[in-house]
Amino acid sequence: MTTTTEAVNLTAPLPRGGIVQSVRDSLVIAKRNLLRMTRIPEVIIFGMIQPVMFVVLFSYVFGGSVSVGGNTSAVEYRNFLMAGIFAQTVTFATAGSGAGIADDMHKGLIDRFRSLPMSRGAVLTGRTLADLVQTALTIVVLVIVALLVGWRIHEGIPKALAAFGLLLLLGYAFSWIGALIGLSVRTPEAATSGGLIWLFPVTFVSNAFVDSSQMTPWLRHIADWNPFSATVQACRELFGNPGVSQSDAWPMQYPVWASLIWSIVIIVLFRTLAVRKYRSAAG
């Protein structure tokens, strides 16, 4: 019995500790996932097509029929819309994160990672970082399309870059929710479905596509305190786009701070839960 136990201990490498080593392990996993993405370009292409379709459809189907501050101008609505489309794009990438992790679990790749002497959280951190890079590329394409349909920045490049930083931070935060979902289901298909079900109410019960002041009072209250709405409102202010909120809710009065706080809280909470789920699965 003792000999068997010693043999198991010798063949099961212990994860190396330390923040520096954890960062290195995470970057290695991120690089592996980025290389994998380049070998399956259709995933990146299809991921870019969907948000582009949203821009075109919302701009030309709803433009001119939705009031923004009493103005029904199509150009005004396009400028109002784009912050919501940007935020929707970074959050919908969550479903892909969850499906990717579920697929790795299903194929046994995660089990192979567990046999290596690496930080336990690095596998998930590397995956979410790689997904963040893909999301950033999608945003670049989306900005080009938005400029073509008439969207403009009015507050300068530094504030615009700050807005994109908030968007990517929100996307990274939501990717940890996707990671937890991916670890909690048995198949990639279930992860995709589970990743989208909760995203639709989060994105549509918000100020992304319509002014929340046009909603019923109880629904407006939910929309104003929605983390998604805080980021959308912060981006509108930083871009200089129309849609100044008249709400007294704190997130709408201080949307930049609200966006930062919400994103950090989500990252801390769901990263902790995801890594714990990963470790329990490893056990």
CA angle, 213 then 228 then 221, to 5°: 35
Over residues 251-278, the pLDDT tens digits come to: 999 999 999 999 999 999 999 999 888 8
Whether pLDDT at 4 is above 70: no
Confidence (pTM)? 0.85
Q: Which two tokens stand for residue 207?
A: 């100020």
Q: What is the pLDDT of residues 94-123, one digit of tens each?
A: 887 888 888 877 776 666 776 667 777 788
How does pLDDT run across 47-103, given as a tens digit for each residue?
A: 778 788 888 887 777 666 666 666 667 677 888 888 999 999 999 888 878 888 888
Q: Which of 159, 161, 258, 165 is nearest to 207 (CA)?
A: 258
Tell me the three state secondary structure of residue 71.
Answer: strand
Residue 227 near residue 170, CB atoms below 8 Å: yes
Q: What single letter denotes the amino acid at residue 220?
A: R
Backbone angles phi, psi at 68, to 5 degrees: -120, 105
pLDDT one-digit tens code per residue, 225-255: 999 999 999 999 999 887 777 788 999 999 9
Residue type for 117, please? P
What is the C-alpha to C-alpha distance for residues 139 and 135, in angstroms, rounded to an integer?
A: 6
Q: Does the pLDDT value for residue 17 go beyond 70?
A: no
Cβ-proximal residues to 243 (8 Å cutoff; 6+ apart), any chain? 68, 69, 80, 83, 207, 211, 233, 236
